[in-house]
Amino acid sequence: PIPPTQPYTLCDEDQDGFTSFDLTTLIPDLLQGAVYTITFHETLSDAQLGSSPIDTTQLYDNINPFVQILYVRAVDP
């Protein structure tokens, strides 16, 4: 997988520091055609252990205002 070189940013229309993200839109750029199983996590330890993945079937609402760091786990099937 290819890590992004720029932050993923969205407009916060009401300027409260929170918005919804469609994390699946990031997957094609991460994979660049490679075949991996991608999961997103709120903590580094969750990503390393493969626990508590973020449900990407729904929009993700950030839990930290203005800046949210997420971790990506890539597993070779």
pLDDT tens per residue across all 77 residues of the chain: 888 888 888 888 899 999 999 999 999 999 988 999 999 999 999 999 999 999 999 999 999 999 999 999 999 98
Phi, psi of 42 (to 5 degrees): -85, -20
In a domain, 3, yes or no: no
Q: How confident is the model at residue 42, as a pLDDT?
A: 96
Decide if 11 is inside a domain.
no
Q: Three-state SS for 60?
A: strand
The partner residues of 13 in beta bridges, in order of sequence, read none
> How many structural domains compose the chain?
1
**Residue 60 within any structural domain of the chain:** yes
Give domain status of residue 61, yes or no: yes
pTM value is 0.88
| Cβ burial, residue 40 (10 Å; 0-12/13-18/19+) | buried
Task: Answer yes or no: is 4 within a domain.
Answer: no
Which domain range does residue 64 map to?
20-75
Closest CA relative to residue 70, chosen from 17, 16, 21:
21
Structure-block tokens of residue 27 = 């997957």
71 domain residue, yes or no: yes
What is the C-alpha to C-alpha distance for residues 68 and 66, in angstroms, rounded to an integer? 7
pLDDT score of 11: 85
